Structure 1
Amino acid sequence: MTADDIRPDDDSEVGNAGDFEQYADLGATTENAMEIAETSMDRVRELVPDETLADRIRQKSVHATGDPEFQHLVRFTGATEDEPVVAGTRAVLDERPIVTDITMVEAGITGRGHDCPVQKAIGNGADLAARTGMTRTAASVLELDRQGVYDGAIAVIGNAPTAALALADCIEGGTRPAVVVATPVGFVKAAESRKRLRRVTDSHDVPAITNVGRRGGSGLAAGLTNELVHVASDVRSGEVELP
């Protein structure tokens, strides 16, 4: 869902654009909302270990999907499970760009707790897609890569398997994102695209967070990325110390 999907009519009680933008930003801010969010996460912690940074990603995956079993589907590419979380947290602290595949993932990235520029790939590479017949998402990833956007960025793919495959090609070609978060969803090439991305990121020392199976999606990708932001906030406050 994007801001346009919930934009009020002229006779709405929502007063102005500022009110709407505050409402549209994801995340709990009021006392009641904070209580709900904290209670929800407390229940998740009863189901998922709470010992490592990787556990925080597992917890968020359960929180985002409502499925305690999803914790067993998350995969981490790196020397340790914590490595991609550390890399992503450092990228947030360094205010590196967050680059999503589609609008829905972009809309799900929190606007609080970081100063990273956030942009979507879709909408770029239209000429390449028309000329070659490849998907718009794959073409958009290739076009942004041609511009050097993905180097040092937090690369997030939540919807399109072909975008994940295109990103794998870019990494094989020398592109080096700070971290990859990839949870494309579906019955065609989704699991295969994540498997290839794991293989490529592992062989080229690019930290990555993915999952196995057909499930995934934009909400999950945004949630996992937001958890990197939350870890970064905890580092700033001194609650977490990075290795």
Structure 2
Amino acid sequence: MTTDGHATDDTDDGDVEEYADLGATTANAMEIAETSMDRVRNLVPDETLADRIRQKSVHATGDPEFQHLLRFTGTDDSEPVRAGARAVLDEAPVVTDITMVKAGITGRGHDCEVRKAIGNGAELAAETGMTRTAASVLELDSEGVYDGAIAVVGNAPTAALALADCLEDGTRPAAIVATPVGFVKAAESRQRLREVAAEQRVPLITNVGRRGGSGLAASLTNELIHVASDVRDGDVVLDEQ
């Protein structure tokens, strides 16, 4: 499969690192990944942890302007990155809205359970007429799944709206990545989530406008995992970022 715009190889290779950026596991794949990110760093600042997320958004979308569409909720732009990396180090679950986002999250560099919301809440959806993704978020929230987890919404605006309702009711994910895409409620859902996350002091990474999607959400989540891997290796100290 592909994530972050490059082919990934999930086979083991004794000649490469156990965890590699962008999912690359062969020498050729690593060369492509490193060259690509070097070019991105020429277009995006490389000073803070938030810059790493901006770089990843540009790499995932192929658009240097996307860096300006990202929004971060916290005491500073890097706070949700620190919170997400700490959650990865604590082996918190990663909960996605749909299957496509789950499939795009790397299996390397972490021991977190990665699960999807969709497929839960079928009875609630049938009874109320709400979307399956909204019902699935509410169902998992009723089970306490989102507390302390990394919540990821890459496709469904109604899932983002449901998650915002959960935050208002006291749910506290460790961090949220939300990039639902589309022309109906997408921008509005992210705006509401930003407002509620700011009020409830929940770290959030999102974007403005209609754009987004599953691939972007998976890529940004993968960068949280990569930051955690760098912390584990001693290359990043979270308290200094």
Give deviations 1:86-131, integer Å, cap 9, x for gaps. Answer: 0000000000000000000000000000000000000000000011
Structure 1 unaligned blocks of 5 or more: 3-19
Q: Distance in 2 between matches of 1:210 and 1:22?
A: 32
TM-score (normalised: structure 2): 0.91
2:168 matches 1:172 = yes
User: Partner letter of residue 201 of structure 2?
Assistant: D
Give deviations 1:41-60, integer Å, cap 9, x for gaps. Answer: 00000000000000000000
Alignment root-mean-square deviation, CA: 1.3
Deviation at 1:21, TM superposition (A): 5.8
Larger Rg: 1
Q: Distance in 1 between matches of 2:23 and 2:230?
A: 16
Q: Distance in 2 between matches of 1:116 and 1:227?
A: 14
Q: Distance in 2 between matches of 1:198 and 1:21?
A: 35
- Secondary structure at the aligned position of 2:238 is classed as coil
2:209 matches 1:213 = yes
Q: Distance in 1 between matches of 2:163 and 2:11?
A: 33
Structure 2 unaligned blocks of 5 or more: 3-8, 13-21
User: Partner letter of residue 88 of structure 1?
Assistant: G
Alpha carbons 2:10, 2:25 under 8 Å: kept: no
- Secondary structure at the aligned position of 1:216 is classed as coil
Q: 2:96 aligns with which of 97, 100, 110?
A: 100
- Secondary structure at the aligned position of 1:22 is classed as coil
Residue 130 of structure 1 corresponds to 126
2:238 matches 1:242 = yes
User: Partner letter of residue 87 of structure 1?
Assistant: A
Give deviations 1:38-93, integer Å, cap 9, x for gaps. Answer: 00000000000000000000000000000000000000000110100000000000
2:192 matches 1:196 = yes
Instruction: Write out the 4+ residue segments of structure 1 that deviate beyond 2 Å after TM superposition.
Output: 20-23
- Secondary structure at the aligned position of 2:205 is classed as strand
Percent identical across equivalent pairs? 82
User: Partner letter of residue 211 of structure 2?
Assistant: R
Residue 156 of structure 1 corresponds to 152
Residue 27 of structure 1 corresponds to 23
Residue 6 of structure 2 corresponds to none
User: Partner letter of residue 24 of structure 2?
Assistant: A
2:55 matches 1:59 = yes
